[in-house]
């Protein structure tokens, strides 16, 4: 029986030592839907537990709860509160959170299957990590909408927002395939593992990816350790590559046995006449049963023999050696390192002293916790520095938060602090507008005294726990100064961590306390920054983001979405007007909330065909004012999709206006278009002229990626005007995967303007004729390989997307060490000094690394090779590079380790690394790169008269040439060498291939090479036609499978092991898997 539910209350409980906990016999439930069936003895911990039990009896709670519920209460009371972060304790992962979408119907069978899958996954992980890691504890978050049960504990807010696994409806881009949303560089964690009810409950679906335990280990490796797939998944990843005279299937390890056949005919593959590659439908079909390979789980995890990750390509045992030549995502993004080479550098493995015994019990415990309505406390700074206009701005922002951001059914309290703290409102359940306006009326009216942030937090904890509600909750802290009165932040940290309370912090100006960001990070919150500038919307964006952050992984229908925020100044003669787009996924409870310094009049016009104009005079019930100069205009019913307009006027000389437009999903259960944004480096950063880090935004409908959107990040800076950056989903720079709905841009030295806080706001809009959403696909995901796929990339189906708008706050970061004296910067850092480095001058930011270089054709008869890649910029992904270097060598490692400046250009050189001169380029100009994001196509002339390596290739079929590309900027900064591609002579290829279209060829070359080659090609073509006729007459009497003629290449003997008959794998699956997997 799987240890379930209550067992997990023991983990880390207060009042009982950790050693005692491990000695306690495990308690379980026979069925999570039935009464508790206690089968445990509390052992040495019983005195503490019985003390709590008798305390409950003394307080007369047992008669109310019953003895069994009372024991559950004891266990809940002594639980150490979760931080929401996965903990690695004595080789076991604890606190792994699994969240379920509220739209998923309650299903006991799904939960039982989930426990079974994860128990097996723990054992598989233990084996795959060589007895080093396993899962000890899972927290399964039951939706609030499911029926409460006695065994469900109350979930903390931090547990709801940090799920490592989500169970949700299928993503149209990936179907029922388990996958991980990966966005960052090699070795960085992903966002979450997505499982569907269909995957958990349907055996036919599960079997598509093999045993679930190995599939989930595959996904955990993506999520936790940041390693990538080792099968061809991206457009540039070929299913086969040339090496040592043969076509090798892309695989890891090289020990994986199989056949290479046409997937539709099950016959040997032909070669493409133009590219020289195996035909389009050629696939590597592995031997399903008794395959000798043991790795890699990141390749074909569904093979029965596969149980390990690939390791070092030269020193590891042969059966787990990494294939660094295979064109796959792991090699491209992890610089040809094996999975184990990446994993060993992760903190999980650095923390482990030695493996555990092989007979270690890896059975995990399962703790069930149920979501509940959110409860929050606004903690507002009313110290002396907040007097005057600052207090009014604070009240308006808080009013907007109460009116438009918090969801119906949640609870909110209000605390103010200065020298001391006081509760302005205890927790109020927000069910209607009356509740919202009563909270607004409780906002502070004056500011005075010192700054004791700790007092405010202590009072907020008191408010959150006073009503006897479940532990946890969130605090939204707004402060403008440094704390100068105790208690201090550090004094409150233990209580906040113990209670499992999340703290979101908004810094009101540059002078706000620095340590609030550290506290937010430790408790699972986010930080934001408001610059006090008149045109900044950062305060309302940040407050809205504290709610939106809680909706980023699992969407909840009651949470509003921000469509537009804006700020401006108007006068009698200069009105304020604008437009916004409403899309069909939103429309319920749409509101425009205005804050103003002097009275305003507002008109709102609906889109065609109605074009109805809403004004206060004609629609008084829609216009609702507050005492703090706030106006909320509520659109009745469901707001129509299309372009809306607003028009604001005033009779005052001048007034400042801030606008926030929000709306809720138009229909319950509908997938909503939303934008989530973040910066992984949120915190303190030291300036460096080579500094670069990423800003990310995910644009999705439900979970389906949105492609072709315009996404812009606006950065508020300490000593300058904001700067706008365009984010891209093109696979360049910090965007590692093209077309996955995650847009990225780099923040570099030239974007930074002084020490202090920086705030980032993201805008996303549709582009006419370009923006679309994925509706079906089997590729482009960080996920396990389908048994039926063999790694081929299938087409992505999309549909056009209507006009939309969204805004989101990515948060803030803080910069230190900025040069105190910098010359005219403009768009360039002209002088920079790092605290530990000498002064530097000029541009030090190189272009990005090219990661999608691939060979589209290779014609050894004409010595031509066609290369394609996506252009990178002058600075990372921005602008245009100065020139390219195309590097060539027969030594793979030279391209990775040797300085390209030392590369030779002449045939006579004995250097092992060559750089190709322009005269060897038939198509494309090395000195005229395209703008970043555009596709480059180069055709190379690899004449043996000029390049001795090509002569070696002609003389020896075992020779392989490797090529890489570097982009170089105008300052001479060279980007890293691209992913590496290979060229080799395949002796078995006897068919003529069409030459690559070339640019102008010198006359000498034309007479010596092209004319003879053309004559030979013409002759071969005539012979080829004659043989085709002959073959057509002969094929009826001779089975082509018994003997391959020169027109086909039976690739089943090419450099890899095979034996026996290979059938369609789907027919073999059930015969080769063990009974326990079904």
Strand, helix or coil for residue 396: helix
What secondary structure does DSSP assign to 690-755, as a single string? T-EEEEEEEEEETTEEEES-EEEEEEEETTEEEEEEEEB-SSSTT--STTSSEEEEEEEGGG--SS
**pLDDT the model gives residue 108:** 94
Query: Alpha carbon 712 to chain centroid distance?
Result: 18
Checking if the pLDDT of 170 tops 80, the result is yes
- The helix (run of H) or strand (run of E) holding residue 246 is strand 246-249
pLDDT recorded at residue 1027: 66
Residue 776: its pLDDT value, please? 86
Q: What is the pLDDT of residue 927?
A: 96
More confident of the two residues 627 and 66:
627
Both structure tokens of 102: 């509220």
Tell me, what's the pLDDT at 1063?
32
Task: Give tens-digit pLDDT for 461-479.
Answer: 999 998 777 778 999 999 9
pLDDT band at 902 (very low <50, low <70, confident <90, very high): low
CATH class of domain segment(s) 676-816: mainly beta
Mean pLDDT of 316-330: 94
Instruction: Provide the 3-class DSSP secondary structure of residue 293.
Output: coil
What pLDDT does residue 1026 have?
A: 65
pLDDT grade, residue 333 (50/70/90)? Answer: very high
Residue 257: pLDDT band (50, 70, 90) is confident
**With 70 as the cut, is the pLDDT of residue 956 above it?**
no
Of 528 and 236, the structure prediction assigns the larger pLDDT to 528
| Residue 1021: pLDDT band with limits 50, 70, 90 | confident
Q: Return d(Cα 1019, Cα 639) in angstroms, integer.
A: 71
Q: Summarize pLDDT for 527-581 with one digit per residue, the tens.
A: 999 999 989 999 999 999 999 887 777 877 789 999 999 999 999 999 999 999 9
Could you tell me the pLDDT band of residue 606, with boundaries at 50, 70 and 90? very high
Lowest mean pLDDT, pick from 53-62, 349-358, 799-808, 895-904 = 53-62
Q: Report DSSP letters for 198-240, one per residue.
A: HHHH-HHHHGGGS-HHHHHHHHHIIIII----SS--STT--SE
For 300, phi and psi rounded to 5 degrees? -100, 80
Mean pLDDT value of segment 903-909: 51
More confident residue, 237 or 583: 583
Q: How confident is the model at residue 56 (pLDDT cuts 50, 70, 90)?
A: very low
- Tell me how far CA of residue 853 lies from CA of 234, 546, 780, in angstroms: 11, 41, 17
The answer to whether the CB of 550 falls within 8 A of the CB of 575 is no
Residue 782 pLDDT > 80, yes or no? Answer: no
**pLDDT greater than 90 at residue 868:** yes
Least reliable range by pLDDT among 319-328, 941-950, 1036-1045: 1036-1045
Question: Can you list the positions of beta strands (E) in 910-1023?
Answer: 913-915, 921-923, 935-941, 960-968, 981-984
Asked if 558-667 and 854-984 have one fold, the answer is no
In the prediction, which pLDDT does 1048 show? 28
The pLDDT value recorded for residue 37 is 28
Average pLDDT over residues 583-610: 94
Domain boundaries, the chain: 1-80, 373-469+473-557, 558-667, 676-816, 854-984
Would you state the pLDDT for residue 292? 87
Predicted local confidence at residue 960, as pLDDT: 86
Q: Which pLDDT belongs to residue 770?
A: 95
Q: Does 63 have pLDDT greater than 70?
A: no
Residues 516-523: what's their mean pLDDT?
91
Least confident of 305-319, 532-546, 917-931, 979-993: 979-993
- Give the count of beta carbons closer than 10 Å to the beta carbon of residue 352: 16
Mean pLDDT value of segment 1007-1020: 64
d(CA 258, CA 247): 14
**Percentage of the chain exceeding pLDDT 70:** 78
Q: 945 vs 863, 949, 952, CA distance in Å?
A: 10, 10, 11
User: Comparing 866 with 13, which gets the higher pLDDT?
Assistant: 866
* Mean pLDDT along residues 641-663: 95
Using the 8-state DSSP alphabet, how is residue 482 labeled?
-
854-859: strand order across its sheet: 854-859, 864-870, 935-941, 921-923
Give the SS3 label for residue 1072: helix
Q: Say what the pTM is.
A: 0.83
Confidence at residue 953, expressed as pLDDT on a 0 to 100 scale = 61
Q: What is the pLDDT of residue 992?
A: 27
At the topology level, CATH places domain 558-667 in Jelly Rolls (2.60.120)
Q: What does DSSP say about strands 684-686 and 797-800: parallel, antiparallel, or unpaired? A: unpaired
Per-residue pLDDT, 1015: 67
Q: How confident is the model at residue 943 (pLDDT cuts 50, 70, 90)?
A: confident
Indicate if the pLDDT at residue 285 is higher than 90.
no
Summarised one tens digit per residue, pLDDT across range 720-777 is: 899 999 999 999 999 999 999 999 999 999 999 999 999 999 999 999 999 999 998 7
CA torsion sign for 249, 252, 258, 262 is negative
> What is the structure's pLDDT at 366?
98
Give the pLDDT band of residue 234 (cuts 50, 70, 90).
Answer: confident
The whole-number pLDDT of residue 498 equals: 87
Query: How far apart (Å, rounded) are the C-alpha atoms in residues 759 and 565?
Result: 15
Predicted pLDDT of residue 946: 59
Report how far residue 196's alpha carbon sits from residue 466's, in angstroms, rounded to the nearest whole number: 39
pLDDT at 1001 over 70: no
Angle at 207 between CA 204 and CA 210, to 5 degrees: 175
For residue 777, which of 758, 799, 762, 756 has the smallest C-alpha distance? 799
Class of domain 854-984: mainly beta
pLDDT value for 237? 86
Higher pLDDT among residues 1000 and 293, named by residue = 293
Average of pLDDT values for 806-827?
Answer: 78
Whether the per-residue pLDDT at 789 is higher than 90: the answer is: no
Task: Give the per-residue pLDDT at 40.
Answer: 34
In CATH terms, the fold of domain 373-469+473-557 is: Rossmann fold (3.40.50)
**pLDDT tens digit string along 360-390?**
999 999 999 999 999 999 999 999 999 989 9
pLDDT of residue 177: 93
**Of the spans 701-705, 837-841, 1058-1062, which averages the highest pLDDT?**
701-705
**Higher per-residue confidence, 344 vs 777:** 344
> Mean pLDDT, the chain, as a whole number?
81
What pLDDT is stored for residue 77 in this prediction? 32
């Amino acid at each position: 029986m799987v240890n379930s539910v209550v067992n997990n209350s023991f983990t880390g409980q207060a009042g009982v030592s950790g050693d005692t906990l491990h000695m306690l016999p495990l308690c379980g439930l026979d069925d999570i839907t039935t009464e508790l069936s206690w089968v445990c003895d509390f052992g040495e911990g019983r005195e503490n537990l019985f003390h709590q039990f008798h305390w409950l009896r003394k307080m007369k709670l047992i008669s109310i709860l019953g003895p069994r519920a009372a024991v559950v209460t004891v266990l809940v009371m002594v639980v150490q509160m979760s931080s929401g972060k996965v903990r690695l304790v004595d080789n076991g992962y604890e606190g792994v959170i699994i969240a379920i979408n509220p739209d998923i119907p309650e299903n006991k069978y799904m939960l039982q299957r989930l426990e079974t899958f994860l128990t097996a996954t723990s054992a598989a992980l233990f084996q795959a990590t060589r007895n080093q890691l396993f899962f000890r504890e899972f927290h399964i978050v039951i939706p609030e909408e499911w029926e409460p049960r006695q065994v469900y504990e109350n979930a903390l807010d931090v547990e709801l927002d940090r799920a490592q696994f989500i169970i949700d409806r299928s993503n149209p881009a990936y179907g029922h395939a388990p996958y991980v949303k990966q966005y960052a560089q090699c070795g960085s964690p992903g966002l979450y593992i997505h499982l569907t009810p269909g995957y958990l409950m349907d055996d036919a679906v599960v079997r598509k990816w093999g045993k679930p335990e190995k599939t989930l280990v595959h996904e955990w490796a993506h999520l936790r350790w940041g390693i990538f797939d080792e099968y061809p998944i991206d457009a540039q990843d070929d299913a086969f590559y040339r090496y040592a005279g043969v076509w090798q299937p892309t695989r890891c390890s090289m020990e994986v046995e199989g056949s290479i056949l046409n997937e539709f005919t099950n016959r040997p593959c032909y070669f493409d006449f133009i590219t020289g590659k195996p035909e389009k439908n050629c696939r590597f079909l592995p031997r399903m049963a008794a395959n000798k390979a043991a790795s890699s789980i990141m390749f074909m995890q569904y093979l029965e023999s596969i149980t390990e990750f690939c390791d070092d390509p030269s020193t590891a045992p042969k059966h787990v050696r990494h294939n660094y030549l295979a064109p796959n995502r792991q090699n491209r993004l992890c610089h040809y390192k094996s999975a184990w080479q990446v994993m060993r550098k992760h903190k999980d493995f650095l923390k482990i002293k030695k493996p555990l015994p092989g007979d270690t019990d890896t059975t995990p415990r399962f703790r069930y916790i149920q979501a509940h309505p959110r409860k929050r406390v606004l903690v507002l700074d009313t110290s002396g520095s907040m007097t005057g206009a600052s207090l009014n701005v604070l009240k308006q922002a808080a009013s907007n938060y109460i009116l438009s951001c918090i969801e119906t059914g949640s609870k909110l309290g209000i605390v103010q602090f200065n020298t001391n703290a006081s509760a302005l409102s205890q927790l109020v359940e927000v069910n209607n507008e009356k509740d919202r306006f009563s909270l607004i009326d409780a906002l502070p009216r004056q500011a005075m005294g010192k700054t004791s942030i700790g007092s405010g937090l202590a009072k907020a904890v008191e408010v959150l726990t006073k009503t006897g509600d479940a532990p946890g909750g969130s605090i939204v802290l707004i402060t403008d100064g440094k704390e100068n009165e105790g208690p201090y932040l550090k004094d409150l940290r233990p209580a906040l961590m113990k209670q499992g309370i999340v703290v979101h912090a908004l810094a009101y100006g540059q002078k706000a306390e620095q340590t609030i960001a550290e506290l937010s990070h430790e408790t699972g919150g986010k930080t934001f920054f408001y610059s006090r500038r008149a045109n900044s919307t950062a305060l309302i964006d940040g407050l809205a983001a504290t709610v939106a952050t809680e909706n980023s992984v699992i969407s909840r229908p009651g949470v509003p979405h921000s469509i537009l925020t804006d700020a401006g100044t108007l006068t009698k003669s200069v009105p304020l007007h604008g437009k916004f787009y409403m899309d069909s996924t939103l429309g319920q409870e749409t509101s425009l909330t205005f804050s103003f310094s002097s009275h305003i009049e507002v008109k709102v016009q609906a889109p065609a065909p109605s074009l109805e104009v809403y004004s206060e005079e004609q629609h008084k019930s829609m216009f609702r004012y507050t005492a703090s100069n706030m106006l909320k205009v509520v659109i009745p019913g469901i707001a129509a999709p299309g372009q809306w307009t607003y028009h604001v006027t005033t009779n005052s000389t001048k007034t400042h206006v801030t606008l926030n437009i929000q709306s809720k999903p138009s229909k319950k259960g509908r997938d909503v278009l939303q934008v989530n944004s973040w910066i992984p480096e949120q915190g303190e950063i030291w300036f460096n002229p080579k500094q670069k880090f990423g800003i990310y935004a995910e644009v999705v409908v439900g979970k389906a990626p949105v492609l072709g959107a315009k996404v812009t990040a606006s950065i508020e800076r300490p000593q300058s005007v904001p700067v706008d950056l365009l984010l891209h989903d093109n696979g360049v720079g910090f965007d590692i995967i093209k077309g996955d709905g995650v847009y990225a841009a780099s923040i570099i030295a030239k974007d930074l303007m002084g020490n202090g806080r920086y705030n980032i706001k993201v805008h996303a809009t549709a582009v006419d004729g370009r923006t679309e959403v994925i509706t079906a696909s089997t590729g482009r995901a960080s996920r396990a390989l389908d048994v039926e796929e063999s790694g081929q990339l299938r087409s992505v189906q999309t549909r056009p997307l209507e006009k939309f708008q969204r805004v989101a706050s990515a948060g803030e970061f803080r910069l230190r060490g900025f040069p105190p004296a910098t010359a005219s910067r403009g768009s360039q850092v002209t002088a920079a000094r790092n605290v530990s480095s000498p002064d530097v001058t000029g541009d030090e930011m190189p272009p990005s690394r090219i990661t999608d270089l691939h060979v589209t054709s290779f014609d050894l008869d004409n010595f031509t090779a066609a290369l394609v890649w996506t252009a990178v910029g002058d600075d990372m992904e921005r602008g245009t590079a100065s020139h390219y270097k195309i590097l060539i060598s027969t030594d793979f490692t030279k391209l990775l380790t040797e300085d390209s400046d030392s590369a030779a250009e002449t045939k006579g050189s004995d250097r092992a690394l060559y750089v190709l001169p322009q005269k060897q380029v038939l198509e494309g100009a090395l000195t005229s790169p395209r703008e970043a994001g555009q596709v480059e196509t180069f055709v190379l002339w690899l004449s043996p008269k000029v390049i001795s390596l090509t002569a070696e290739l002609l003389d020896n079929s075992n020779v392989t040439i490797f090529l890489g590309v570097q982009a170089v900027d105008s300052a001479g900064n060279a980007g890293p060498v691209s992913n590496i591609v290979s060229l080799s002579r395949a002796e078995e290829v006897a068919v003529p291939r069409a030459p690559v279209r070339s640019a102008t060829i010198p006359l000498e070359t034309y007479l010596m090479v092209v004319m003879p080659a053309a004559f030979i090609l013409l002759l071969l073509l005539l012979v080829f036609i004659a043989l085709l006729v002959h073959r057509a007459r002969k094929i009826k009497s001779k089975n082509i499978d018994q003997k391959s003629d020169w027109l086909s290449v039976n690739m089943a003997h090419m450099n890899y092991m095979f034996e026996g008959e290979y059938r369609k794998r789907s027919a073999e699956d059930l015969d080769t898997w063990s009974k326990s997997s079904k």
